[in-house]
């Protein structure tokens, strides 16, 4: 009697071992955009499936913080999805070099993209492109129009006006926090602040390219200056900003408790949904009136194909659809704040997003400072930048010190 218990359990174990998941022929998309899951499921995928009946698509995102690690593990283990959302530049290039992303040069839809759009997902020599560009993001500041109107304020054009504005909100705002920004998470300090206000100092692409060719150093004045401005922001940030997370900042602004929010265009969608006030946007202020302005217009997202996919033909159909005008229109207007990179003429309906795109006309665009080539050192330059921005605003490092530390890592 008792012995049979053992037998039963062994049989049970074998039984479980035998029951296996069935691999369907559906296309599965890897992405870090958990926020967009609903949009993909309700709008984008149905639109595609309508145009291409017979192909089923699943959107399977992983949280942004885990995306790179878990995608790498799944690619190595051979369990990743058919379509891979590509981070820009080196992270994807590395995947391509390891043959974990397929070469997409022959994909018909690629003709819809300029070389600039493709640059973030091409080899250095530009000969191979491995992801279909999907979207770029633009950086700037969002502001609460109601608060501005109440205090009689106008969006600032110059740095001087900007600080005057902050001071007014601080003194007259009755508890309104001037800047909804915290240093807890770190990444905003670099990606949303330093690379957004910085291009006005280092003259966008000119400064960025000088860094790449080693004709400039981060310790040069034009790269230290943005840190000097950031160091002056602390008094206008909320009490306890050092433990304020990105989510906290979003809440603070959306609940109307802060006036200005240093933003990436992707934030618009969230505030449209949650904020109960009118919102506007202004670009990073320049040093003096009439100066040429530069904006951070960063290639952010693309999609490639897993070479180990069993559904490559279908995957290519999907990627060609990504390059179509239909997708660009849908994406730009459904996923507010992500701007299409294809050469289609798209009308952007959201007023704030349209405002941000309009900056492209007057200002020169540049991508995030260290995204291309510079990150290839032995050490994690991106992390060093985050820490530098954090330390400067937290007051634990002087601007020049922080810049010197990053330069040291860059030089390695």
Burial 86-123 (b: 16+ CB within 10 A, else e): bbbbbbbbebbeeebbbbbeebebbebbeeebbbbbbe
Of 194, 217, 85, which is closest to residue 139 (Cα–Cα)?
194
Among 113, 162, 201, 241, binds other proteins (CB under 8 A): 241
Query: Could you say which of 43, 72, 146, 320 contacts other proteins (CB under 8 A)?
Result: 72
User: Do 400 and 225 touch, CB atoms closer than 8 A?
Assistant: no
Pick left, alpha or beta for residue 126 (phi over 0 → left; psi -120 to 50 → alpha; otherwise beta).
left
Integer Cα distance of 400 and 411 in angstroms? 16
Residue 89 or 201: the one with the smaller Cβ distance to other proteins is 89
- Asked if residue 270 binds other proteins (CB under 8 A), the reply is yes
C-beta of 65 vs 358, nearer to other proteins: 65
Give how far Cα 240 sits from Cα of 177, 180, 243, 281, 394, Å: 12, 12, 6, 26, 10
Number of residues that bind other proteins (CB under 8 A): 77
- Is 372 a binder of other proteins (CB under 8 A)? no
Please identify, using beta-carbon distances, which residue of 348 and 374 lies nearer to other proteins: 374
Question: Whose Cβ is closer to other proteins: residue 238's or residue 262's?
Answer: 238
Q: Interface with other proteins by CB under 8 A: which range of 88-96, 152-160, 221-229, 354-362?
A: 88-96
* Alpha-carbon distance values, 179 to 173, 193, 237, 271, 283 (Å): 12, 12, 5, 16, 15
**Residue in 73, 105, 123, 358 binding other proteins, rule: CB under 8 A:** 73
Q: How far is the CB of 345 from other proteins (least distance, A)?
A: 33
Interface segment toward other proteins; rule CB under 8 A; list 200-208, 221-229, 232-240, 288-296: 232-240
Instruction: Tell me how far, at minimum, the Cβ of 73 lies from other proteins, in Å.
Output: 5
- We find the least distance from the C-beta atom of residue 200 to other proteins, in angstroms, to be 24
- Binding marks (x or -) toward other proteins, 324..363, rule CB under 8 A? ----------------------------------------
The stretch among 129-137, 252-260, 297-305, 321-329 that binds other proteins (CB under 8 A) is 252-260
Give the x-and-dash track for 40-69 against other proteins (CB under 8 A): ------------------x-x-xxxxx-xx
Select the residue interacting with other proteins from 157, 346, 383, 400 (CB under 8 A).
383
Q: Which of 49, 274, 291, 349 binds other proteins (CB under 8 A)?
A: 274
Residues numbered 103 to 132 that lie near other proteins (CB under 8 A) are none
Nearer to other proteins, 19 or 313 (CB): 19
- Selected range binding other proteins among 154-162, 214-222, 238-246, 321-329, rule: CB under 8 A: 238-246
Q: Which stretch binds other proteins (CB under 8 A): 90-98, 109-117, 147-155, 286-294?
A: 90-98
């Amino acid at each position: 009697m008792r012995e049979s218990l053992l037998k039963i359990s062994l049989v049970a174990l074998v039984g479980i071992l035998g029951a296996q998941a069935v691999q369907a022929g559906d296309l599965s998309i890897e992405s870090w955009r958990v926020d967009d899951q609903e949009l993909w499921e309700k709008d984008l995928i149905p639109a595609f499936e309508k145009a291409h009946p017979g192909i089923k698509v699943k959107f399977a995102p992983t949280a942004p913080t885990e995306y790179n690690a878990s995608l790498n593990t799944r690619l190595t283990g051979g369990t990743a999805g058919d379509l891979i959302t590509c981070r820009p530049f080196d992270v994807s290039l590395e995947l391509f070099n390891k043959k974990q992303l397929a070469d997409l040069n022959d994909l018909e839809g690629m003709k819809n993209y300029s070389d600039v759009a493709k640059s973030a997902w091409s080899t250095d020599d530009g000969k191979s492109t491995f992801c279909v560009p999907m979207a770029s993001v633009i950086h700037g500041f969002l502001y609460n129009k109601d608060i501005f109107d109440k205090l009689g304020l106008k969006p600032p054009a110059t740095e001087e006006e900007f600080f005057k504005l902050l001071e007014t909100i601080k003194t007259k705002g009755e508890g309104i926090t001037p800047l909804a920004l915290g240093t807890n998470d770190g990444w905003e300090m670099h990606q949303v602040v330093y690379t957004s206000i910085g291009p006005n100092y280092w003259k966008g692409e000119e400064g960025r390219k000088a860094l790449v060719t080693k004709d400039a150093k981060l310790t040069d004045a034009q790269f230290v200056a943005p840190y000097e401005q950031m160091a002056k922001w602390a008094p206008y940030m909320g009490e306890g900003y050092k433990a304020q997370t990105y989510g906290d900042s979003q809440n603070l602004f959306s609940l109307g408790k802060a006036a200005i929010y240093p933003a990436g265009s992707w934030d618009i969608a969230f505030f449209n949904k949650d904020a109960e006030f009118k919102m506007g946007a202004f670009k990073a202020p320049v040093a003096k009136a009439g100066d040429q302005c530069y904006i951070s217009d960063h290639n952010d997202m693309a999609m490639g194909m897993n070479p180990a996919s069993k559904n490559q033909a279908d995957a290519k159909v999907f990627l060609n659809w990504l390059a179509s005008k239909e997708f660009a229109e849908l994406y730009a207007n459904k996923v507010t704040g992500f701007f299409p990179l294809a050469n289609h003429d798209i009308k952007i309906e959201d007023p704030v997003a349209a405002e941000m795109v309009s900056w492209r006309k007057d200002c020169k665009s540049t991508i995030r400072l260290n995204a291309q080539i510079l990150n290839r050192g032995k050490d994690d330059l991106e992390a060093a930048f985050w820490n530098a921005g954090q330390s400067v605003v937290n007051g634990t490092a002087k601007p020049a010190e922080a810049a010197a530390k990053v330069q040291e890592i860059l030089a390695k």
